[in-house]
Amino acid sequence: MPDPAGRPVRIEVTDVLVGGECPVGIRPGRTWEIADGMLPEGMCASAWSAIQHYVFALRAGGRMPWSGQAEISACCPDPANPVVFRLTVIEE
């Protein structure tokens, strides 16, 4: 059940750039549904740190000012193997 303080957000891995490989094994197609704002199982703390502010904004009803959408793509900070995540609000 979603947290009453926010809407659930789907996180999907769309790519690992530079033809690299994520050192913790995250691959394109991996998904998580976040309803509580906590670090998802199987995601490293560095990636979560890079995207959590977007998750919280989307859960609170935020929209990205440059697109007007409740969706964003963001990237983990690993310069050799950046993992790209797509975050979207799950409409109920």
Q: How many domains does the chain have?
A: 1
Residue 27, domain member (yes or no): yes
Confidence band for 1, pLDDT divided at 50, 70 and 90: very low
Q: How far apart are CA 44 and CA 74, in angstroms?
A: 15
Residue 36, domain member (yes or no): yes
- pLDDT tens for residues 47-77? 999 999 999 888 888 887 777 788 889 999 9
Q: What are phi and psi of 15, to 5 degrees?
A: -165, 160
Between β-strands 71-75 and 9-16, what pairing exists: parallel, antiparallel or unpaired? unpaired
Q: What is the span of the domain harbouring residue 30?
A: 9-89
